[in-house]
Amino acid sequence: MRRVLSVIVLNEHGVLSRIVGLFSGRGYNIDSLTVAPLVGEEFSRINIVTSGDERVFEQIVKQLHKLIPTYKVIESGEFIEKEMALVKIPLSENLGGLDAVLKAYNGTIANSNENFLFLMVADDAMRIDNFLKTIKKYNPCDIVRGGSVLMEIK
Amino acid sequence: MKEISGSAMVCEALKAEKVKVIFGYPGGAALNIYDEIYSQTYFKHILVRHEQAAVHAADAYARMSSEVGVAIVTSGPGFTNTITGLATAYSDSIPLVLISAQVANSLIGTDAFQEIDAVGISRPCVKHNYLVKNIQELPRILKEAFYIATSGRKGPVHVDIPKDVTAALGIWDYPKEISMKTYKPNYKGHAKQIKKFVELLKEAKRPLLYLGGGCVASNASEELRELVKMTKIPAVETLMALGTLRSDDELNLKMAGMHGSYAANMALSECDLLISIGARFDDRITGKTSEFAKRAKIVHIDIDPSSISKIINAHFPIVGDVKVVVSQILDELKQEKIQIQTEEWLESLKRYQNLYPLSYDDSDEVLKPQWVIEECSRLAPDARIITDVGQHQMWVAQFYPFNFPRQLATSGGQGAMGYSLPAALGAKLAVGEKEVVINFVGDGSVLMNIQELMTAYEYGIVVINIVLNNAFLGMVRQWQSMFYNEHFSQTDLSKQADFVKIAEGFGCAGFNVTTKDEFRKAFKEALNAKQTTLLNVAIDRFEDVLPMVPAGGAIYNMILPKLKDKK
């Protein structure tokens, strides 16, 4: 089962490798991972998408707590979850209908040059999945997903 | 404030933490630290002969004294040699601080001579680690290292200090107290949970205490003995908990698990309330988890929340320090004055104890390891015991009567061969001249750190090493006999070194022993010796450790000894 969680950690040397090492060492999955410092604080926020049954997830949360630089593990409650995707489409493709697709997903054309269009979409991960399925017919030559960023609703 | 060097800071921190003995081995990147050690008078430095031994010695020093152990090594291979020691201490939650030197900051990342990513390597083997980037943060990091090692669920902490930091000058402002935003261990049990627990006790008909290493770590033996006395609840101990209760306490069902007593394993299988105290449901205890204590409600008392419900789902978790929580329970019980009816339960356990007590067929033709161990306890009662890993370790756990906590130091979680000889030296330095330290070791494992006989000789550290020699890697041989068609693949050690000569070569005394009389004579000589001794004791080659639960099986299905004359 897909799970999301955020870890607030001291922004110090080696902290990310502690988190990543915990996952790899104990055989947990990381489906996506995003990291950035919290504004004006000594902490960083690490957003992790993982999978596992309830018991595994409970262990992941406890093990994350156990790391010395971990300040907080946010795992319950609802999140706003957004992920970004960039898509490169050859201009030579038939681009009919692209506008409507972009509109449906609040996407934009981020850039273009003589050969390609660069599309940008930010949405929840499942809708990004759908967007990428839809966009397949334009034969994208590159797709980059950014990993989920999370914010708790409360 | 006066500025001092990073090396001086290391020594000042050890002084502030009241460290009396450290174990180490110098090298290029550690030269500044060792220059400072040369001129200080705060602590004694023991030069071991291999860095792994430094950590094992510091580990046993901590286990015996309940104080923090300290080891110092140089960069690169000096550091990598410590990993087995760190892993051993981490698995058994032993408080120690390892200080390793590192190449200078300017060289880090250049693949310099004796450079290795030390914190990268030690990360999964320690509670926490630090790479000190500059002198300003060194006092705080040293303080945090000792605080983290000795608080909460204890464990090893590794501090890696680049050479330029050991030379740099900085202000020595060592914090007296420390408060960390992200690390606040919880010691007191939740009051409501304690009350609930006492309610559970009232209903229980077959309650059982399952005592683990946390009972020793938190020095809770006295409280636990009171709890057992007050409630008449029987108890089983893990390898790490031996000595928490007296071995002759009627309610002590002895060690549980793969080589546990029949009564202990049956008690675990039939109890209706399992009270786990500072234990972590290791696979060597539980066997097949779906069959483990399956009729019982599980109470799990542990200082580490991640231990709770990790293996077996706990119905009533209590997070806290064992000593504190058990005291809270005792207070509650004194107020409530409840009566727990355990007579029937105790009677059926008594039957199990009588049915299959821990026993063996003794012989006058060949020495039995169990006899040797029992004889040691008769000739030197209440000795401090160190073991290595393998059959001898389990025989000691089964047949040496442990009567006080911290009487035993053994590599439990990792089962690291090579532990015991350096550990015996660390233990002896912790307990002092008056106490006898006996190291039980196999003929396989003794060779893994045999060079430490030199350390014993140099510093006049007197321990008795008893090599239970079956000319096999005995535990592996036992499994090969039972489950691998007697294919003794790479386990036959019948080509033997001359252990007496080895001992003598290192300035120690050696004895070859093949009979009971020889053993008694040699052991008495060893007890009176002013030097470290090694008794090479030839034992029955094919003696097995029994009872035994085959790996992955339910713990009530035990292979029991087929005794000729039942004792």
Residue of B nearest to A23 (CA): B124
To the nearest whole Å, the CA of A57 is away from the closest chain B CA by 11
Task: Label each residue of B29-56 as H, E or C.
Answer: HHHHHHHHHHHCCCCEEEECCCHHHHHH
Q: Inter-chain contact A62–B119, Cβ cutoff 8 Å?
A: no
**Minimum CA–CA partner of B119 in chain A:** A14
Quote the ipTM score.
Answer: 0.92
The per-residue pLDDT for A19 is: 97
Chain B: give the shortest CA distance to residue A81, in Å: 26
Please report, for residues B174, B240, B442, B496, B511, the alpha-carbon distance to residue B535 in angstroms, rounded to integers and kept in the order given: 47, 26, 11, 14, 5
Q: Which residue of A has its CA nearest to B181?
A: A71
Q: CB-based burial of residue B283 (10 Å sphere; 0-12 exposed, 13-18 middle, 19+ buried)?
A: middle
Q: Does A97 touch chain B (CB under 8 A)?
A: no
Please give, rounded to a whole number of angstroms, the shortest distance from the CA of A49 to a CA of chain B.
20
A10 → chain B, closest CA residue: B182
Residue in B182, B304, B309 closest to A69 by CB: B182
Question: Can you read off the two tokens belonging to residue B532?
Answer: 């470290």
Task: Output the DSSP codes for A17-48.
Answer: HHHHHHHHHTT---SEEEEEEPTTSSEEEEEE
Q: Do A71 and B181 touch (CB under 8 A)?
A: yes
Least CB-CB distance to A21: which of B124, B304, B309?
B124
B490 carries an active-site annotation: no
The answer to whether B182 contacts A65, with C-beta atoms less than 8 Å apart, is: no
Token match 């509670």: residue? B127
A139 touching chain B per CB within 8 A: no
Task: Show the tokens assigned to B446.
Answer: 């003794």
Cα of B89 to nearest chain A Cα, Å = 17
Q: Evaluate if residue A106 carries a pLDDT over 70.
A: yes
Q: Which residue has the tokens 């409360």?
A: A154
Question: How far off is chain B from A43, nearest CA to CA, in Å?
Answer: 10
Residues of A in contact with B303 (CB under 8 A): none
Nearest CB neighbour to A62, from listed B133, B182, B306: B306
- Give the per-residue pLDDT at A76: 75
**pTM, entire model:** 0.96
* Catalytic residue status for B51: yes
Give the burial class of B248: count Cβ atoms within 10 A of its Cβ; 0-12 exposed, 13-18 middle, 19 or more buried. Answer: exposed
Alpha-carbon distances, residue B499 vs A6, A68, B407, B490, B511 (angstroms):
58, 46, 27, 21, 8
Q: What angle do CA B230, B235, B239 make, to 5 degrees?
A: 135
- What CA–CA distance (Å, rounded) separates B241 from B239? 6
Asked if B113 is an active-site residue, the reply is yes
Nearest to A68 among B119, B148, B304 (CB): B148
Nearest to B182 among A14, A59, A68 (CB): A68
What is the pairing mode between strands A142-152 and B273-277? unpaired
Q: Which of B123, B180, B309 sits opposite A21 (nearest CB)?
A: B123
pLDDT, averaged across chain A: 94
Burial B405-417 (b: 16+ CB within 10 A, else e): bbbbbbbbbbbbb
pLDDT at site A13 = 87
Q: Which residues of B223-242 are buried (b: 16+ CB within 10 A; e: fewer)?
A: bbbebbeebbbbbbbbbbbb
Q: Which tokens in the block code for residue A105?
A: 């997903």
Mean pLDDT of A29-56: 94
Smallest Cα–Cα separation from B247: which of B154, B39, B31, B255? B255
Identify the closest residue of chain B to A56 by CA–CA distance. Answer: B310
Cβ atoms of B277 and B215 within 8 Å: the answer is: yes
CB count, 10 Å around CB of A136?
10
Asked if B69 contacts B436 with a C-beta cutoff of 8 angstroms, the reply is no
Mean pLDDT on A109-118:
96
Q: Does A145 contact B at CB distance below 8 Å?
A: no
pLDDT of amino acid B565: 60
* Active-site annotation holder among B40, B114, B451, B531: B114
- Residue B42: count other Cβ atoms within 10 Å of its Cβ: 15
Pair B368, B203: CB distance under 8 Å: no
3-state secondary structure of B292: coil
∠B480-B484-B489 over CA atoms, to 5°? 55
Does the beta carbon of A59 lie under 8 angstroms from any beta carbon of chain B?
A: yes
Q: Are A62 and B305 contacting, i.e. CB atoms less than 8 angstroms apart? A: yes
CA-to-CA dists, residue A113 to A80, A94, A106, A135, B556, angstroms: 34, 16, 22, 19, 73
Q: Is B475 a catalytic residue?
A: yes
Query: Which of B128, B131, B182 lies closest to A71 in CB terms?
Result: B182
Q: Which of these, B163, B159, B160, B158, lies nearest to B103 by C-alpha position?
A: B163
Mean pLDDT by 10 residues, chain B (567 residues): 94 98 98 98 98 98 98 98 98 98 98 98 98 97 98 98 98 94 96 95 96 98 97 97 97 98 98 98 96 97 96 96 98 89 95 96 97 98 97 98 98 98 98 97 98 98 98 98 98 97 98 98 98 98 97 96 71
Task: List CB contacts (< 8 A) between A69 and chain B.
Answer: 182
pLDDT of residue B381: 93
- A9 contacts in chain B (CB < 8 Å): 182
Q: Which helix (H) or strand (E) holds B429?
A: helix B420-431
pLDDT confidence of residue B566: 53
Dist. CA B312–CA B305, nearest whole Å: 13
What per-residue string of b and e applies to B77-105 under the rule 16 or more CB within 10 Å gives b? ebbbbbbbbbbbbbbbbbbbbbbbbbbbb
Which of A12, A16, A66 to probe by mutation at the B interface, max B CB count within 10 Å? Answer: A66
Q: What is the pLDDT of residue A58?
A: 94
The pLDDT of residue A154 is above 90 = no
Which residues have C-beta within 8 Å of that of residue B340, sequence separation ≥ 6? Answer: B201, B202, B204, B207, B231, B232, B233
The residue length of chain A stands at 154
User: A62 in contact with B at a CB cutoff of 8 Å?
Assistant: yes
Going edge to edge, which strands form the sheet with A142-152? Answer: A108-112, A116-123, A79-90, A142-152
Cβ pair A68:B304 closer than 8 A: no
Q: Are B431 and B437 in contact (CB under 8 A)?
A: yes
Collapse the DSSP code of B522 into the 3-class scheme (helix H, G, I; strand E, B; otherwise coil) and give the result.
helix
- Asked if the peptide bond before residue B547 counts as cis, ω within 30 degrees of 0, the response is yes
- Which residues of chain B lie closer than 8 angstroms to A54, CB-CB? none
Judge: A18–B309 Cβ closer than 8 Å, yes or no. no
Q: What is the pLDDT of residue B338?
A: 84
The 3-state DSSP class for residue A96 equals: coil
Q: Give B-chain residues touching A70 at CB under 8 angstroms.
A: 182
**Residues of chain B neighbouring A58 (CB-CB closer than 8 A):** 309
How many contacts does A have with B, using Cβ atoms within 8 A?
38
Contacts of A10 in chain B (CB under 8 A): 181-182
Per-residue pLDDT tens over the stretch B548-563 = 999 999 999 999 998 8
Q: Which two tokens stand for residue B371?
A: 């006899």
CB contact under 8 A, A17 and B131: no
